[in-house]
Structure 1
């Protein structure tokens, strides 16, 4: 279950109901799809083959189709970040640059952990700490950045409206 941490006070929101209520107030979609039905061979595998990536996408096909219908997402893929990636620190430096997109930035955490740091509607910054099973969709034009948690790994499904809308505007 995701947690929210406020940058200015280091205060956390941890209860599921309060997390959902707060993120809704920020127009951020949060859902928990869970990962119980994920084949165990896909857990803690940070070098999945194309076939294994497709198996993960197929596992969550119903949820992907449902949110895609609501939000207009046209494509889905898998991103994997871990210490097995030779240029991980370079990628993280890029992701830590505050930016926005012209489309939603939608991610479903399959394994590992990640943090979306987001500038709220009132200008206050907060982190959304994602765990396996969490989905977040940051609306267009929201300033944010992404980083990993201490385990330095995440495997996530990315959903897009258009490839151009996903490009970061720094």
Structure 2
């Protein structure tokens, strides 16, 4: 099952390390950020949630050095890109089929909350939240990605001018201020 904690920003270790500050984050704290988490025993359980939330499309992604097109260097470049702080205009839904990785999200105080996910974890990151992703030191994950419609892959980098005024960002901020 997933582990949730504040990211240790003082550490100089590679971002694929745990960076566990020792300060846990509760399910209630995640919910206040709009992050949905469930441990789901098998893919049939995911189908129930997919139907409830109207996810119609899906695909599977595998990230590892052996199968990634271009090998280790290409995977490292992709991880560097995924680890840049960004937001999406759609929810990001991942069900972990195998392996492990990290999703980091910003809390209301702009601190990083790290979710270390494993097989059976279903994580839904709301549209408009700043986040990032990386593999763990195992350097392997297989995940089911779910989408309401066709996937929108555009990542809006936090460093991009005007991103704070994005409609989805504003809606997200309104939703968490109501908590």
Normalised-by-shorter TM-score class? 0.7 to 0.9
2:161 corresponds to? none
When structure 1 is superposed on structure 2, of 102-111 and 70-79 the one drifting more is 70-79
Instruction: Tell me if 1:117 matches 2:104.
Output: yes
Aligned to 2:6: 6
CA RMSD of aligned residues (A): 1.8
- Correspondence 1:25 to 2:32: yes
Q: CA, structure 1 residues 73+138, in 2 after alignment: closer, same or farther (shift >3 Å)?
A: same
1:160 equivalent to 2:147? Answer yes
TM-score (norm 1): 0.75
User: Aligned equivalents of 1:162 and 1:97: distance in 2?
Assistant: 25
3-state SS, counterpart of residue 102 of structure 2? strand
Under a length normalisation based on structure 2, what TM-score does the superposition of the two structures give?
Answer: 0.72
1:145 corresponding residue in structure 2:
132
Structure 1: distance between partners of 2:77 and 2:8: 27
Aligned to 1:88: 75
Distance 1:5 1:160 in 2: 27
Preserved CA contact (<8 Å) 1:3 1:12: no
| Paired residues for 1:45-124 under 5 Å | 60=43, 62-84=44-66, 85=68, 86=71, 87-124=74-111
Structure 1: runs of 5 or more not aligned: 36-59
Give the number of the structure whose residues are more often strand, by fraction.
Answer: 2
Aligned positions, number: 141
1:135 aligns with 2:105: no
* Cα pair distance change 1:152/1:8, threshold 3 Å: closer
